[in-house]
Amino acid sequence: MAVSGGTLVVRLDGAGDVLLAGPCVRAAGASGPVAVLAGPEGAEAARLLPGVERVLVWRCPWVVREPPPVEAGDVGEVVAEIAAERFGQALVLTSFHQSPLPTALVLRLAGVPRVSAISVDYPGALLDVRHRLDGEVHEAERALSLARAAGFDLPEGDDGRLAVRAPLPPTEHLTGGGPYLAVHPGATAAARRWPGERWVDAVKELVRRGHRVVVTGSPAERGLTAHAAGAHGLDLGGRTSLHELAGVFAGARVVLAANTGPAHLAAAVGTPVVSLFAPVVPAARWRPYRVPHVLLGDQHAACRGSRAVECPVAGHPCLNGVGAESAADAAEALMGEAGR
């Protein structure tokens, strides 16, 4: 379905980044049809966002972690695809350390007449709205502030929290009956991962305390989820779509996860999060958004703010210092506070 004359929201990196764009998308959608241009890792999340009518997918050479070469033919194809939609304007969403200007150039070549982005660099003729922000602003609020700078705002009654499309799929056939906690041990960046043995210990400790635990992960993480679940937890690794994972998280009393996309998915369904959060990116920008949560990990460690994919400090001390008992204590405290 084309969205001629509508708004294109561009977010070209991971699923978590796309989920954090949700309030911005809903603000733009209050004024007309919205499409999202996403990367391959974020496309499934984009399809879950309320208000999205179409998702275009592009593996952008200056955004994705393992970039393809910049080739005229590839850029020409995405330019043609965007041009065919005849968008009235575009919002280019980036993280605080990314430049929107190469993407803005692609949009200009596609004939998008009005382009807005947050940019500290001089944009020349690439941007119509050059928005700037100071201070540590959460990425969800940062994206929403761009929508407002471009003339959009949330509709009345929308509180600006993260959200996914309703209804969520039934998941009791996956989780079984009765209360449970969800543990998601994976993360795309090694620097953000709690050691696998700690997840094993955490599952054992939670079960020892009388909780039922389900362990979730992508198909590529089946080995990790099977190891973490062991004989104590229920292994759902590779058995859920992202929408089904949202359903699993919605039914959980609490979710334990690293700083990874599924932590934002848990926030989008309103479930408290224990976040094993490595400070390679600022927690003020990337913590679970507007849900009860606890951050575990040394937020002042030497890796702070490095944006490292591989841990730059021997022994991974920011997360290795967190024990299973601390994670279980945090989970129980959140459940008590939330009455879950």
CA quadruple 22, 135, 192, 41: dihedral positive or negative? Answer: positive
- Say how far apart CA 178 and CA 187 lie, in whole Å: 27
Burial class (CB in 10 A: 0-12, 13-18, 19+), 105: middle
Residue type, 293: H
Chain region(s) in the chain for CATH 3.40.50.2000:
7-149, 173-338
pLDDT the model gives residue 4: 58
Query: Which range has the worst mean pLDDT, 2-6, 42-46, 66-70, 209-213?
Result: 2-6
Contact criterion met (CB below 8 Å) for 51 and 26: yes
Query: Which range has the worst mean pLDDT, 26-35, 224-233, 297-306?
Result: 297-306
- Say how far apart CA 138 and CA 125 lie, in whole Å: 28
Q: What are phi and psi of 312, to 5 degrees?
A: -85, 0
CA quadruple 47, 307, 59, 83: dihedral positive or negative? Answer: positive
Cα–Cα nearest to 277, from 180, 182, 189: 189
The pTM of this model reads 0.96
Cα–Cα nearest to 266, from 284, 287, 280: 287
- Say how far apart CA 329 and CA 274 lie, in whole Å: 10
- Say how far apart CA 295 and CA 292 lie, in whole Å: 10
- Say how far apart CA 266 and CA 19 lie, in whole Å: 10
pLDDT the model gives residue 36: 98
- Say how far apart CA 103 and CA 123 lie, in whole Å: 11
- Say how far apart CA 2 and CA 6 lie, in whole Å: 9
pLDDT tens digits along 182-239: 999 999 888 899 999 999 999 999 999 999 999 999 999 999 999 999 999 999 999 9
Topology classification of domain 7-149:
Rossmann fold (3.40.50)
Which secondary-structure segment (H or E) carries 263? helix 261-268
pLDDT tens digits along 251-286: 999 999 999 999 999 999 999 999 999 999 999 999
In CATH, what number does 173-338 get? 3.40.50.2000
Helices and strands: H and E segment counts in the chain:
14, 12
End-to-end C-alpha distance for the chain, whole angstroms: 41
